[in-house]
């Protein structure tokens, strides 16, 4: 609760808005939370009845009112137990304090007959002269009533309230003077008086202005409760941040950002700083304020599943301590619409796609206003292809529909912030702060140059590179990577970014080949334990590259690793067991793994030259806050790349442009479909109005579009009509033409199905119903195999035929129904030509379905990868994509009555694809961050259910499980407790709904 005696912590935030004469006026509050906005006809003061310590007109009225008692009034001053403990409320004392002024007044006034007229006359001369007209009307009314009270006092004896003969008028307690004043101010705001002086008119104008400002502040903060000194949060939050994050104090920029007017007045905000500047902590504090002070839900959108899972683990402990829920929306996880909580608030942590689906489900159920705060990390993702288009859709809908949801965007790499500010209607805060100084270098031949944009060629010679290479070593390592990394490892950490996945593995092997044996002895026990864990995660199999590199403290990190391997490598690197990672550019955008030195093996990502934003993300990993005093990056250049590198290091950031027109306008088509389906827009004119408020609409004038946005919008509507997703009353699409969504259109947007594949999916599902095979999962798996993965795999025909041959007769019959007969596969395996044309999409899709089918039966990713001769990382990606697409297909079928049979079947299949482990491990795999290897450890140690893990002692877990740190154990237990609490709350809400009396219950 905000204190009324502090000039810096005004309850309504008035200190930054009212005139200078008001700054020293303390305002006391009752601390009671306002739950609704006030209209012009309501009490603008709400519960703020006491203005303690104020020498103003209102304060004098309150002071005297509490000490005066009219003879005609039946009012008796009593202590209100409901207000006990509220420092801002003046209560009648049970025992008078030994105040000599009070004693003297009691003696002097003992025999006096005091009434409202006494009070009025004592103030009349002082205040009537310059009162504004709106107050004169009130005072004249009070004077008139005071005269009536005096006549009453002369003729009427005092009557007790409980007198049986009391009239109803006498039973009612007289309103307090403050209450009358407030009612009169609300009712007579527009009253005028011919007697008003020029001074009164000026004063009235000033008061009216102040009241308008105050009302605006009350509307924006009336639902926010000040809970303590830590930016409005209790001290417990600061203690938790210190205990769980090791952060004892905030950086100055963080304090500045948290006290910006944009934050205090809940305006939208974009803030950008370099990588590792501490942006996330500011967002988390704002989220906690929303959850705890305003009692509203919050949505945090992150770009990758791994980041969502990491954040769910990290915030679960805060939720348990502070009493809110943390819900994961990634992959196939997430409930649509989310459970409506009566008593607890929820923090939804979602990927871009799941965040958009969540917004759609809340819009459909009229609950979008339950989201008080939407936070977007990596806001520059707006410019990243189809995913950027999805993010723009979600933000545009929130901006258009909800006026109470605040949007916070943060990013380390922003360029055209003016466009983004206009789109989000946001303020902007920028700071170049880095907790650790970053020094950027390039290596050219045998010399190191410091990057200095002020120099003519951007580079200034720093030092020659000291190394002693043999002729063989020079041939193996012409870029002198070994010399660069051995300057920092093993004492410090190093990241080496490579252009391709294969290059990551080759560089790691090359470095190990020339390292001394002393590197093997450094933290040898921890590296041996890591190898054991990696082998266990592969069911006894171990990657031969990691087997050679890990003993030296090195590993590679790219999408070719399984989820378990990636987690183990990341944890070992953060713990210091691994001192060097060779990685692709995706690590820079993913989980935070900082290093003392960052080396860019080449200025290319695959065959494309680096973008400025990619470069800044990579070098931004250099420097570990709290560990290093400085960080450094080294970009290795060839002479042919020097000119392009000069442009790279001195160029501004790339512009963040709308991607709604990406891939032939798929984004804008999907957006319009969902707008019509959600009834946000119902005519072509309304669609056009909405489109003008998108980022594409903002950038239309600055973008060289072949057509106007209005023409593009109309073309998109026509496309949706042709696809049978939207219906129009009039075919000419005039401005007022009404648009409605078809059943197929509704299923498409609710299932988040790509418009390219919606009609194909409907056709496949309809055909599947004719001969659906239920004695095997193969047919269902085929139906949920992602269409967009088909082009990424070229079948090995011998393996294809071998796997085809072991299918049962029923399964082989099913393959023929989808268009892949055995004879075709046999001919391809034998190298013979096939005369009869076959659908190649169906052929490749069935091949991927057989991979998934084998994985479901064996749950051993390594053996399946070996059998199909596919990278285990690709199979991991295929599995994740299939589980997400299966969830989409499930929502698609729920909207179409003819597909009712799929609902139960796909629910179970989605669950199996999500975890793809033995059934007994699934409850443990539901815990955020617990993958198969860790689930097996927990199960073997006796923790076989979610309740077991939720009630486990972290210290016991550390002692009974190998290679589990205390931090990891605490996160696992906290995540399990949060998930258990969430499930229990959902069941409780369901029970409450069942027991609630229906509002439309018929009655006599």
CATH class of 464-650: alpha beta
Query: What count of Cα atoms within 13 Å lies in the side-chain half-sphere of residue 161?
Result: 9
Rounded CA gap, 847 and 207, in Å? 76
What is the pLDDT, as a whole number, of residue 613? Answer: 86
- When the candidates are 3.10.270.10, 3.30.470.30, 3.40.50.300, 3.40.50.800, the CATH number that belongs to 235-430 is 3.40.50.300
Rounded CA gap, 803 and 782, in Å? 15
Please count the other Cβ atoms lying within 10 Å of the Cβ belonging to residue 626.
8
CA distances from 747 to 683, 942, 963 (A): 20, 44, 47
Residue 853 has pLDDT above 90, yes or no: yes
pLDDT digits (tens, 9 = 90+) for 326-364: 999 998 899 999 999 888 999 999 999 999 999 999 999
* Among the ranges given (90-99, 245-254, 593-602, 918-927), the one the predictor scored with the smallest mean pLDDT: 90-99
Q: What is the DSSP string of 793-826?
A: ----HHHHHHHHHTS-HHHHHHHHHTT--HHHHH
Rounded CA gap, 765 and 894, in Å? 12
Q: Under a CB-based contact definition with an 8 Å cutoff, are residues 634 and 448 in contact?
A: yes
Please count the other Cβ atoms lying within 10 Å of the Cβ belonging to residue 8.
8
With b for 16 or more beta-carbon neighbours within 10 A and e for fewer, the 902-936 pattern comes to beebbeebbbbbbbbbeeebebbbbbbbbbbbbbb
Residue 15 has pLDDT above 70, yes or no: no
With b for 16 or more beta-carbon neighbours within 10 A and e for fewer, the 366-375 pattern comes to eebebbbbbb
Q: Measuring CA to CA, which residue among 345, 387, 349, 392 is closest to residue 370? A: 345
pLDDT digits (tens, 9 = 90+) for 867-900: 999 999 999 999 999 999 999 999 999 999 999 9
Rounded CA gap, 648 and 619, in Å? 13
Q: What percent of the chain has pLDDT over 90?
A: 56
CA dihedral 172, 176, 180, 185 (to 10 degrees): -150
**If you average pLDDT over residues 309-329, what whole number do you get?**
94
My answer on whether omega of the bond before 490 falls inside 30° of 0, hence cis, is yes
Band the pLDDT of 651: cuts 50, 70, 90: confident
Residue 509 has pLDDT above 70, yes or no: yes
What is the pLDDT, as a whole number, of residue 40? Answer: 36
**If you average pLDDT over residues 7-32, what whole number do you get?**
39
CA distances from 749 to 355, 745, 900, 919 (A): 14, 6, 18, 32
Q: Under a CB-based contact definition with an 8 Å cutoff, are residues 82 and 179 in contact?
A: no
The structure tokens listed for 156 are: 């009427």
Q: What is the DSSP string of 315-343?
A: HHHHHHHHT-EEEEESTT---SSPP--SS
Show Cβ contacts of residue 941 under 8 Å, excluding neighbours closer than 6 positions: 957, 960, 961
The span from the first CA to the last CA of the chain, in angstroms, equals 47
Band the pLDDT of 166: cuts 50, 70, 90: very low
What is the pLDDT, as a whole number, of residue 331? Answer: 86
- Phi then psi for 75, rounded to 5 degrees? -70, 135
Q: What percent of the chain has pLDDT over 70?
A: 77
What is the pLDDT, as a whole number, of residue 650? Answer: 86
What is the pLDDT, as a whole number, of residue 13? Answer: 41
What is the pLDDT, as a whole number, of residue 963? Answer: 78
pLDDT digits (tens, 9 = 90+) for 370-392: 999 999 999 999 998 999 999 99
* Among the ranges given (204-218, 448-462, 482-496), the one the predictor scored with the smallest mean pLDDT: 204-218
Residue 182 has pLDDT above 80, yes or no: no
Residue 676 has pLDDT above 70, yes or no: yes
* Among the ranges given (74-78, 274-278, 400-404, 641-645), the one the predictor scored with the smallest mean pLDDT: 74-78
Rounded CA gap, 364 and 678, in Å? 6
Rounded CA gap, 265 and 137, in Å? 34
Residue 365 has pLDDT above 70, yes or no: yes
What is the pLDDT, as a whole number, of residue 654? Answer: 85
Band the pLDDT of 997: cuts 50, 70, 90: confident
Residue 436 has pLDDT above 60, yes or no: yes
Domain boundaries, the chain: 39-205, 235-430, 464-650, 662-748, 758-988
Exposed, middle or buried, 49 (CB in 10 Å: 0-12/13-18/19+)? buried
**If you average pLDDT over residues 473-487, what whole number do you get?**
93
Band the pLDDT of 19: cuts 50, 70, 90: very low
Residue 83 has pLDDT above 50, yes or no: no
pLDDT digits (tens, 9 = 90+) for 608-622: 999 888 898 899 889
Bridge-based pairing of strands 608-609 and 604-605 is antiparallel
Q: What is the mean pLDDT of the chain?
A: 81
What is the pLDDT, as a whole number, of residue 30? Answer: 36
Q: Measuring CA to CA, which residue among 508, 507, 516 is closest to residue 468? A: 516
Q: Under a CB-based contact definition with an 8 Å cutoff, are residues 315 and 326 in contact?
A: yes
What is the pLDDT, as a whole number, of residue 100? Answer: 35
Rounded CA gap, 577 and 580, in Å? 9
pLDDT digits (tens, 9 = 90+) for 714-723: 999 999 999 9
Rounded CA gap, 221 and 34, in Å? 9
What is the pLDDT, as a whole number, of residue 88? Answer: 40
Q: Please give the residue that has the higher pLDDT: either 173 or 711.
A: 711
My answer on whether omega of the bond before 337 falls inside 30° of 0, hence cis, is yes
Rounded CA gap, 779 and 818, in Å? 9
Same fold, 464-650 and 662-748: no
Q: Please give the residue that has the higher pLDDT: either 125 or 446.
A: 446
Show Cβ contacts of residue 939 under 8 Å, excluding neighbours closer than 6 positions: 920, 921, 924
Q: Under a CB-based contact definition with an 8 Å cutoff, are residues 9 and 259 in contact?
A: no
Sign of CA dihedral 749, 750, 756, 758: negative
Residue 27 has pLDDT above 80, yes or no: no
Q: Under a CB-based contact definition with an 8 Å cutoff, are residues 351 and 391 in contact?
A: no
Residue 756 has pLDDT above 60, yes or no: yes
**If you average pLDDT over residues 221-240, what whole number do you get?**
81
What is the pLDDT, as a whole number, of residue 161? Answer: 38
What is the pLDDT, as a whole number, of residue 113? Answer: 43
Rg of the chain taking only CA atoms, in angstroms? 35
CATH class of 662-748: mainly alpha
Band the pLDDT of 536: cuts 50, 70, 90: confident
Query: 518: which DSSP letter?
Result: H
Rounded CA gap, 694 and 771, in Å? 45
Bridge-based pairing of strands 597-600 and 580-583 is unpaired
CA dihedral 408, 316, 915, 545 (to 10 degrees): 80
């Amino acid at each position: 609760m905000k204190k009324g005696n502090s000039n810096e912590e005004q309850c309504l935030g008035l200190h930054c808005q009212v005139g200078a004469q008001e700054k020293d006026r303390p305002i006391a509050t009752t601390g009671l939370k306002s739950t609704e906005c006030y209209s012009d006809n309501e009490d603008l003061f709400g519960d703020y009845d006491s203005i303690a310590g104020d020498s103003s007109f209102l304060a004098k009225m309150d002071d005297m009112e509490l000490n005066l008692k009219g003879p005609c009034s039946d009012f008796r001053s009593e202590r209100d137990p409901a207000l006990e403990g509220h420092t801002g409320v003046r209560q009648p004392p049970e025992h008078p304090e030994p105040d000599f002024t009070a004693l003297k007044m009691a003696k002097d006034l003992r025999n006096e007959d005091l009434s409202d007229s006494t009070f009025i006359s004592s103030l009349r001369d002082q205040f009537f002269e310059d009162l504004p007209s709106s107050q004169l009307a009130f005072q004249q009314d009070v004077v008139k009533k005071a005269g009536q009270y005096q006549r009453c006092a002369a003729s009427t004896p005092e009557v007790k309230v409980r007198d049986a003969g009391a009239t109803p008028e006498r039973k009612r307690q007289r309103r307090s003077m403050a209450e009358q004043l407030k009612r009169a101010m609300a009712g007579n705001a527009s009253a005028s008086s011919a007697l008003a002086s020029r001074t009164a008119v000026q004063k009235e104008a000033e008061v009216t202005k102040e009241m308008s400002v105050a009302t605006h502040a009350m509307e924006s903060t009336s639902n926010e409760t000040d809970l303590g000194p830590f930016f409005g949060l209790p001290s417990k939050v600061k203690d938790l941040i210190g205990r769980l994050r090791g952060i004892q104090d905030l950086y100055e920029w963080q304090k500045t950002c948290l006290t910006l007017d944009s934050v205090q007045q809940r305006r939208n905000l974009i803030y950008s700083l370099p990588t590792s500047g501490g942006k996330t902590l500011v967002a988390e504090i704002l989220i906690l304020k929303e959850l705890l002070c305003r009692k509203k839900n919050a949505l945090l959108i992150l770009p990758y599943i791994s980041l969502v899972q990491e954040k769910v683990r990290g915030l679960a402990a805060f939720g348990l301590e502070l009493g809110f829920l943390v819900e994961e929306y990634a992959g196939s996880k997430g409930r649509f619409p989310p459970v409506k909580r009566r008593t607890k608030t929820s923090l939804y942590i979602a990927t871009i796609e799941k965040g958009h689906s969540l917004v759609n489900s809340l819009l459909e159920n009229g609950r979008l206003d339950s989201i008080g705060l939407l936070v977007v990390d990596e806001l520059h993702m707006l410019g990243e292809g189809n995913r950027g288009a999805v993010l723009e859709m979600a933000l545009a809908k929130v901006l258009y529909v909800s006026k109470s949801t605040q949007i916070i965007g943060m990013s380390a790499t922003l360029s055209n912030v003016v466009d983004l500010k206009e789109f989000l209607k946001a303020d902007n805060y920028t700071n170049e702060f880095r907790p650790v100084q970053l020094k950027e270098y390039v290596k050219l031949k045998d010399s190191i140059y410091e990057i200095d944009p002020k120099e003519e060629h951007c580079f200034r010679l720093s030092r020659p590179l000291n190394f002693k290479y043999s002729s063989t070593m020079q041939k193996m390592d012409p870029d002198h990577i070994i010399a660069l990394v051995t300057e920092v490892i093993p004492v410090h950490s190093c990241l080496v970014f490579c252009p391709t996945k294969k290059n990551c593995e080759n560089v790691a092997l090359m470095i190990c080949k020339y390292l001394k044996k002393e590197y093997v002895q450094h933290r040898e026990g921890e590296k041996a334990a890591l190898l054991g864990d990696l082998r266990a995660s592969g069911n006894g199999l171990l990657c031969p590259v990691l087997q050679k590199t890990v003993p030296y403290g090195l590993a590679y990190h790219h999408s070719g690793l399984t989820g378990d391997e990636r987690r183990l490598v990341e944890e070992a690197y953060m713990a210091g067991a691994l001192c060097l990672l060779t990685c692709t550019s995706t690590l820079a955008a993913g989980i935070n793994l900082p290093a003392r030195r960052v080396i860019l093996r080449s200025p290319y990502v695959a065959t494309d030259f680096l973008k400025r934003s990619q470069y800044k993300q990579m070098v931004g990993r250099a420097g570990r806050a709290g560990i290093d005093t400085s960080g450094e990056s080294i970009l290795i250049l060839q002479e042919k790349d020097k000119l392009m590198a000069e442009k790279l290091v001195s160029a501004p950031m790339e512009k963040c442009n709308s991607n709604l027109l990406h891939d032939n306008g798929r984004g804008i088509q999907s957006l319009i479909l969902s707008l019509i389906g959600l009834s946000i827009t119902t005519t072509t004119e309304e669609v056009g109005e909405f489109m003008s408020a998108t980022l594409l609409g903002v950038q239309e004038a600055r973008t060289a579009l072949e057509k106007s946005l209005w023409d593009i919008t109309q073309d998109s509507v026509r496309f949706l009509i042709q696809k049978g997703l939207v219906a129009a009353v009039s075919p000419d699409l005039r401005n007022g033409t009404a648009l409605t969504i078809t059943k197929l259109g509704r299923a498409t947007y609710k299932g988040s199905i790509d418009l390219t594949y919606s009609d194909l999916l409907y056709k496949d599902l309809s055909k599947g119903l004719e001969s659906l095979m239920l004695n095997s999962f193969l047919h269902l798996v085929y139906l949920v195999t992602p269409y967009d993965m088909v082009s990424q795999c070229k079948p090995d025909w011998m393996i294809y035929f071998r796997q085809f041959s072991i299918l049962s007769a029923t399964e082989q019959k099913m393959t023929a129904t989808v268009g892949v007969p055995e004879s075709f596969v046999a001919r391809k395996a034998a190298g013979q030509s096939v005369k009869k044309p076959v659908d190649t999409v169906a052929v490749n899709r069935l091949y991927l379905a057989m991979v998934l089918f084998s994985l479901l039966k064996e749950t051993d990713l390594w053996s399946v990868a070996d059998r199909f001769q596919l990278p285990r990382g690709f199979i991991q990606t295929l599995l994740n994509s299939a589980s997400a697409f299966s969830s989409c297909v499930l929502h698609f079928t729920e909207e179409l009555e003819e597909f009712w049979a799929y609902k139960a079947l796909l629910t179970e299949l989605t669950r199996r694809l999500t975890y793809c482990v033995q059934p007994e491990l699934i409850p443990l795999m539901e815990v955020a961050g617990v993958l198969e290897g860790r689930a097996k450890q927990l199960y073997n140690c006796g923790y076989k259910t979610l309740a077991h893990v939720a009630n486990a002692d972290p210290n016991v877990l550390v002692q009974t499980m190998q290679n589990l740190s205390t931090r990891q154990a605490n996160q696992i237990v906290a995540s399990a407790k949060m998930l258990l609490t969430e499930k229990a709350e959902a069941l409780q809400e369901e029970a409450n709904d069942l027991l609630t009396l229906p509002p439309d219950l018929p009655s006599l």
